[in-house]
């Protein structure tokens, strides 16, 4: 793993934006894998700003989001569809049919997971997969104990994840219990992975992810197995 040490959230976001923009400008039909959450908010702002001020085009970009809650309407302001539209997509020139986000409202969720895998096979591989890190070591919604060979699947959220995400809802009880997530095997098929981790509360888990033996109890530790991972962090490793 290549580690880029930065001093703060702003520097992490700027460095990440540079790498995303290189991918967008150097590859003819770039495919990005994208997370939601607090971590990429400033990164997305910087991408929007570059699009608006330097006219970098995203019209050939295709995107796959990591995950979506089950049961939330896409226009609910807690859905990941809504988050991505507000923070990124509606500000860019990316065609709507280039954007893939799991449909958490699908009647048949198993079928939705299989369809998502098919889209990734047809359009992918993902050139650059951006990831945030959960305090319990999750990536996407792959919670501790998820098998490394899982592909897109339905998950039950851990209590600690519902708690961490409750800040976006009225209460923890309002956080959906289920989500659809790209699996770990799916994530590992990206050509390059960019893991963004900021803040003291993730220091202990990040050290485990990087230094301890790979284990399904710490989903992100699987990244040790991937040949092209860059971690950008303000944490002393
Ligand atoms: C969200 C996702 C999650 C988050 C993780 C960190 O799409 O895939 O794995 O990246 O929960 O969340 P934040 O960035 O809010 O600390």
- Residue 40 Cα to ligand 1 midpoint, Å, equals 9
Q: Is 66 in the pocket of ligand 1 (CB under 6 A)?
A: yes
- Closest C-alpha residue for ligand 1 atom 1: 36
Q: Are 210 and 237 in contact (CB under 8 A)?
A: yes
Which residues pair with residue 42 across a beta bridge? Answer: none
- Residue 192 buriedness (CB in 10 A; 0-12 / 13-18 / 19+): middle
Per-residue pLDDT of the chain (237 residues; tens, 9 = 90+): 999 999 999 999 999 999 999 999 999 999 999 999 999 999 999 999 999 999 999 999 999 999 999 999 989 999 999 999 999 999 999 999 999 999 999 999 999 999 999 999 999 999 999 999 999 999 999 999 999 999 999 999 989 889 989 988 999 999 999 999 999 999 999 999 999 999 999 999 999 999 999 999 999 999 999 999 999 999 999
Q: Is 62 in the pocket of ligand 1 (CB under 6 A)?
A: no
- Residue 97 Cα to ligand 1 midpoint, Å, equals 24
Q: Which domains does the chain show, CATH number per domain? A: 2-233 (3.40.50.1360)
Q: Which of 9, 12, 36, 37 best tests ligand 1's pocket when mutated (most atoms within 8 Å of CB)?
A: 37
Q: Are 111 and 78 in contact (CB under 8 A)?
A: no
- Residue 135 Cα to ligand 1 midpoint, Å, equals 9
- Residue 133 Cα to ligand 1 midpoint, Å, equals 6
Instruction: Round to whole Å and give the CA distance between 116 and 15.
Output: 30
Q: Are 188 and 125 in contact (CB under 8 A)?
A: no
Pair of tokens at residue 167: 């800040």
Q: Are 185 and 223 in contact (CB under 8 A)?
A: no
Select from 235, 232, 234, 197 the least CA-distant residue to 4.
Answer: 232
Q: Cα Rg for the chain, rounded, in angstroms?
A: 17
Pair of tokens at residue 40: 């990429």
In ligand 1, the atom with minimum distance to the C-alpha of 202 is 16
User: Where do runs of H (alpha helix) occur along the chain?
Assistant: 9-26, 41-54, 80-87, 109-123, 159-165, 184-188, 203-211
Q: Which residues are catalytic?
A: 67, 136, 138, 143
Q: Are 102 and 112 in contact (CB under 8 A)?
A: yes
The per-residue pLDDT for 63 is 98
Q: Is 63 in the pocket of ligand 1 (CB under 6 A)?
A: no
Q: Is the pTM of this model over 0.85?
A: yes
């Amino acid at each position: 793993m290549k580690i880029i040490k930065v001093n703060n959230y702003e520097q992490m976001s700027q460095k990440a934006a540079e790498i995303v923009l290189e991918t967008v400008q150097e590859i003819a039909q770039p495919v990005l894998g994208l997370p939601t959450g607090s971590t990429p908010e400033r990164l997305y702002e910087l991408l929007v700003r570059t699009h608006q001020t330097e006219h970098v085009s995203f019209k050939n970009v295709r995107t796959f989001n990591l995950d979506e809650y089950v049961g939330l309407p896409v226009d609910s302001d807690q859905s990941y569809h809504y988050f991505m539209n507000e923070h990124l997509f509606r500000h860019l020139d990316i065609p709507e049919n280039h954007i893939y986000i799991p449909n958490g409202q699908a009647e048949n969720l198993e079928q939705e997971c299989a369809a998502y895998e098919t889209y990734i096979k047809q359009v992918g591989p993902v050139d650059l997969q951006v990831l945030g890190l959960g305090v319990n070591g999750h990536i996407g919604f792959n919670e501790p104990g998820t098998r490394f060979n899982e592909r897109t699947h339905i998950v039950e959220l851990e209590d600690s994840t519902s708690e961490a995400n409750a800040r976006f809802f009225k209460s923890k009880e309002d956080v959906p219990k289920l989500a659809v997530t790209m699996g770990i095997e799916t994530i590992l098929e990206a050509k390059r992975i960019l893991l963004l981790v900021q803040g003291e509360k993730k220091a202990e888990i990040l050290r485990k992810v990087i230094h301890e033996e790979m284990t399904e109890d710490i989903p992100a530790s699987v990244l040790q197995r991937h040949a092209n991972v860059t971690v950008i962090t303000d944490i002393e490793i």
